[in-house]
Structure 1
Amino acid sequence: MKTIYRIGLIGLGGMAQEHLRWMNETGRFRIAAVSDVSAEAMAKAGDRLGLGEEKRYADFRSLIGDREVDAVVSVTPNHVHAEIIRACLQAGKPFLAEKPFTRDFEEAAPLLALYDRRPVPAMIGFTYRYTPSFRYARELIRQGDIGAVRSFSIRYLQSWGSAIYDTPYMWRYDKEITGTGALGDLGSHMIDMARYLFGEFEELSAVLHTIVAERRDPGSGESVRVDVDDFASFQARLTNSIVGTFQTTRNAVGSGNEHEVSIYGDRGTIHASTLSPDQVIVIREESPGQLGRTTLDVPSRCKRKQYDDFFAVLEGEVPDGLPGFLDGYRNQQVLDAVVRAHETKRTVRLPE
């Protein structure tokens, strides 16, 4: 009989529906309890999932303490990430928490101290490690297909915040809730992809900017000032003197969900993107002075699902490339360095 893990799901918004779908695809999880600040959302989810009232928790701490919950999946706004992770560590409850790790590094630092004392199986939701094209690019880099990597460019562009859409004010534009804007939301994925492919950050410089400075309050219709970035650009030096550029915004008109990386080595180039998740483009020298451009299909061994790895974590394994607790913590270190580099207008070195 196969193992089915009982999951407590915290946060029932739009992204939670994706997590439910991913869990169902894996077939190794069952929702045992839910929690949300919205009673209406809990009622709908509880009815749909067949949960009794006693498994619908207004307080996420009660869900985490439920002995019939084997592990927690947290899909909430950023301002409660640290509290949920802390509660899971204190309860010894395995978890998968959405990115960014916390709102800022000040919230992250005490969590590492707690994790060092009371480690639990944990995973951070850097979902693009499970995009087949990125996994294959990592394999090609490791086997030396383009020689030593020298530089790269990473972009993550969306358009839904562009002025032409009149996107209203929401929690993603509120610093108290989100910490940073496009940087923490999309930029955290770029940072994680760089660490996944190339190694650790050593130094960086950055520019943050707010393109749409005011947005309409959906309730009152009045303008509200946006106090977080909606454009972020930075450049960095990583392990082995690999240098790279990063750009993200929610204001790139015509862009859907474009997360792309171009990797430049001594003997060639690799392009990988969410737009073609099952293919990579490789440019290499085919004969002296002659370059060839090849589109490669991603092999099946590079097609692994995020919840396959979460299941493996709960089984006591540590799969290669797993985005674990320390990946979330180190990601937050880099996010903090980007903010400091922008605020001080200088290059910031990362701590060892």
Structure 2
Amino acid sequence: MSKFGIGLIGLGGMANAHIRWMADESERFEVVAVSDVSTEALTRVGSQLGLDEGKRYADFKALIEDSDVDAVVSVTPNHVHAAIIEACLKAGKPFLAEKPFTRVFEEAGPLLELYKQQPVAAMIGFTYRYTPAFRYARELVLQGKLGTIRSFSVQYLQGWGAAQYKVPYVWRFDKNITGTGTLGDLGSHMIDLARFLFGEFEELSAQLKTIITERPDSATGQMVPIEVDDFASFQAQMTGDVMGVFQTSRNAIGSGNQHEVSIYGDFGTIHASTENPDKLIWIREEEPGQLSRSTLDVPSSCKVSQYSDFLAMLDGKEPNGLPGFMDGYRNQEVLDAIIRASETKTVVKL
């Protein structure tokens, strides 16, 4: 079996997780080049990986063009997502890129046209498709165990941005870098989970809110106005007349990384959450008038890693449920519709 040389772009905190995941498949992956705008990060990670100076790139385009790089893993802030994807498409390099697909939807259209002309194997980092409980929920839905699905609710809550924590102004609050706030950061995962489970969005309404309207600059102490949302809620009609309600916030004290879904069908209800990723709650009537509430163990068949699918993609296979290029594009399309629905206070059709 061939071993793939990986070029890693973006050496912040999440890069460490990707390095660990690739180390778990060390017979098939080798990080052969790195890129970052920070000289310190290039030196630190380059030394950690034993890379020569010539394989430590300040310019990500030079990394993508490196002949030793077979595929790219990009872990960067939102404002460079489009440029990195464009460079990978033009170079014909397979890639795993961070979500959201682009900073704003206007950047997504040219990428789609380029992809149509020159398709490249691509994976977008919707990591929660690989939460075992979510995959098992999808399996039960597809098998018809819940009967006709009528509605569902999804929430993704974190608490680190709440007022009492006095979090300073960081790049995640900068509209020029992120495009949106909580919506693109956490909401994109909710959108992807809904598409993974139920199909496409058909129409939606939405409300975005900036709860903490200013934050202190860590260098100067001066207050900086916040232009991006830190709370988002929306409701949608999905394929097959399935109705969904969504909520996400960075101000939910007590929530570390609480991403969960409840699905309501004619034969019962299931709950799945990142807080208990190997279990699933199933509520149903086993006897007329007698509700049964069971905690099910997720079967091993639903325990698939993101990097095993990435590897399968590089091997030329098409893993079921892999979040590909079009999943990234469609996700960005829904994000844009949510913004328009909130701004206009109208129902937006997709």
TM-score (norm 2): 0.99
CA distance in 2, matches of 1:16, 1:322: 21
CA distance in 2, matches of 1:287, 1:143: 21
Equivalent residue number for residue 152 of structure 1:
152
Structure 1 gaps, min length 5: none
Equivalent residue number for residue 25 of structure 1:
24
Alignment of 1:261-300 (within 5 A): 261-300=261-300
Alignment of 1:38-117 (within 5 A): 38-117=38-117
CA distance in 1, matches of 2:270, 2:260: 11
- Residues 1:9 and 2:8 are matched in the alignment: yes
**Letter of the aligned partner of 1:82 in structure 2?**
A
User: How far apart are residue 137 of structure 1 and its match?
Assistant: 0.4
Equivalent residue number for residue 349 of structure 2:
349
| CA-to-aligned-CA distance 1:296-336 (integer Å, 9 cap, x gap) | 00010100000000001101111000100000000000000
**Letter of the aligned partner of 1:261 in structure 2?**
V
RMSD of aligned alpha carbons: 0.6
**Letter of the aligned partner of 2:15 in structure 1?**
A
% of aligned pairs identical?
Answer: 69
CA distance in 2, matches of 1:130, 1:167: 30
Structure 2 gaps, min length 5: none
| CA-to-aligned-CA distance 1:222-275 (integer Å, 9 cap, x gap) | 100011000000000000000000000100011000000000000100100000
Alignment of 1:118-133 (within 5 A): 118-133=118-133
**Letter of the aligned partner of 1:270 in structure 2?**
I
TM-score (norm 1): 0.98
CA distance in 1, matches of 2:246, 2:163: 23
Alignment of 1:140-289 (within 5 A): 140-289=140-289
User: How far apart are residue 26 of structure 1 and its match?
Assistant: 2.8
| CA-to-aligned-CA distance 1:73-114 (integer Å, 9 cap, x gap) | 000000000000000000001000000000111000110000
- Residues 1:326 and 2:326 are matched in the alignment: yes
CA distance in 2, matches of 1:9, 1:162: 33
| CA-to-aligned-CA distance 1:21-73 (integer Å, 9 cap, x gap) | 11112332110000000000000000000000000000000000000000000
| CA-to-aligned-CA distance 1:175-198 (integer Å, 9 cap, x gap) | 000000000000000000000000
User: How far apart are residue 3 of structure 1 and its match?
Assistant: 2.6
CA distance in 1, matches of 2:219, 2:143: 55
| Partner secondary structure for residue 64 of structure 1 | helix
CA distance in 2, matches of 1:314, 1:190: 27
| Number of equivalences | 349
| Partner secondary structure for residue 80 of structure 2 | helix
- Residues 1:310 and 2:310 are matched in the alignment: yes
**Letter of the aligned partner of 1:258 in structure 2?**
Q
| Partner secondary structure for residue 258 of structure 2 | strand
Deviating runs (4+, > 4 A) in structure 1?
Answer: none
| Partner secondary structure for residue 3 of structure 1 | coil
Moved more, 283-292 or 81-90: 283-292
| Partner secondary structure for residue 26 of structure 1 | coil
